[in-house]
Amino acid sequence: MEGLFITFEGIEGCGKTTQAKLLYEYLINRNIECVLTHEPGGTLISEKIREILLDKKNYNMVYLTELFLYLASRSQHTFEKIIPALKNGKIVICDRYFDSTLAYQGEGRNIPKQKVFEINNFATGGLIPHLTFLIDINEDVGLERLKERKGKDRIEEEEINFHKRVRGAYLTLARENKERFRIIDGLGSIEHIHKEIVNIVLKFI
Ligand SMILES: Nc1ncnc2c1ncn2[C@@H]1O[C@H](COP(=O)(O)OP(=O)(O)OP(=O)(O)O)[C@@H](O)[C@H]1O
Ligand SMILES: [Mg+2]
C-alpha cells in the first residue's frame, strides 16, 4: 500500500491533538496531501459510536462492551477512510489508534492482552501504523493540563493509578515495537516537540 500512516498516542493531556494538528498544517502548507483524523470517530458511524463511549450516563458499561465498541468504531474508520486514503498515496495522521486499545483495554481494563491484540488486528484487517509517536508525560502533568477543560468525560474520570498503568503500558509497547515507535518527551514546549516530530516525519517521506 502506498501512503504513510502516522498515529499519535499517549495518556490524556500529553499533547496528541495539539501535535497532530500542527503536523497536518505543516504538511498541508508544503502541498503534501494528507488527512487528519482521530479515534474514536473519524466517520459518521464511528462518531455515533464515540458518543456512546464517552457518555457519562453509560457509567455501567461492561469492559467488553467498551472494547467491542472501540473496535467497531475502528473497523468503520479503517475501511471507510484510512485505507482508501493510503491507497491514494496520502499521509494519514490519526489522533489515537490501535495502541490506545492495547494500553487502555489491555492494561487499563485488564482484558487479556493477547486476546485484545488479536481482535484489534482483526478489526483493522491487519493494518498497523508505519510510524507512531508516543508523547510521554507523567500522569499528574497530563491531568493537571486537562483541569481547565470543562466537564470530564467518562474515561478521564478514571483514577490517577489507572493513567499511571496506561502510561506504563504505552512505554512497554514502544520498547517492544521499536521500528515504528518514537518516544517524544511531552514536557518540552509545543514548538520544540513539533520540530522534533517534523524532523522524524521528513525522514519517512
Ligand atoms: N508541550 C506542551 N506544553 C504545555 N502545554 C501543552 C503542551 N502540549 C499541549 N499542551 C496543552 O495541554 C492541553 C492538552 O493538550 P491536547 O488536547 O493536545 O492533549 P491530548 O493528548 O489530545 O489529550 P486527550 O487525550 O484528552 O485528547 C491543551 O490545553 C494544550 O494546549
Ligand atoms: Mg486530544
- 43-81 per-position pLDDT tens digit: 999 999 999 999 999 999 999 999 999 999 999 999 999
Provide the 10 A C-beta neighbour count for residue 84: 14
Place of cell 482508501: 84
Residue 149's pLDDT is 73
Contact 174, 134 (CB under 8 A): yes
pLDDT digits (tens, 9 = 90+) for 2-11: 899 999 999 9
Q: At what angle do helices 63-77 and 113-123 cross, to 10 degrees?
A: 30
pLDDT digits (tens, 9 = 90+) for 91-128: 999 999 999 999 999 999 999 999 999 999 999 999 99
For residues 46, 178, 127, 196, the Cα torsion angle rounded to the nearest 10 degrees is 60
Residue, of 146 and 129, whose pLDDT is higher: 129
Query: In CATH, which of 3.40.50.300, 2.40.110.10, 3.80.10.10, 3.30.565.10 is domain 4-204?
Result: 3.40.50.300
DSSP 157-196: TS-HHHHHHHHHHHHHHHHHTTTTEEEEETTS-HHHHHHH
Tell me which of 17, 136, 167, 170 to substitute to probe ligand 1's pocket, judged by most ligand atoms within 8 Å of the beta carbon. 17
Confidence of residue 144 (pLDDT cuts 50, 70, 90): confident
Measured from the alpha carbon of residue 11, the closest ligand is 1
Residue 26's pLDDT is 98
Residue 89's pLDDT is 97
3 CA to middle of ligand 1, Å? 27
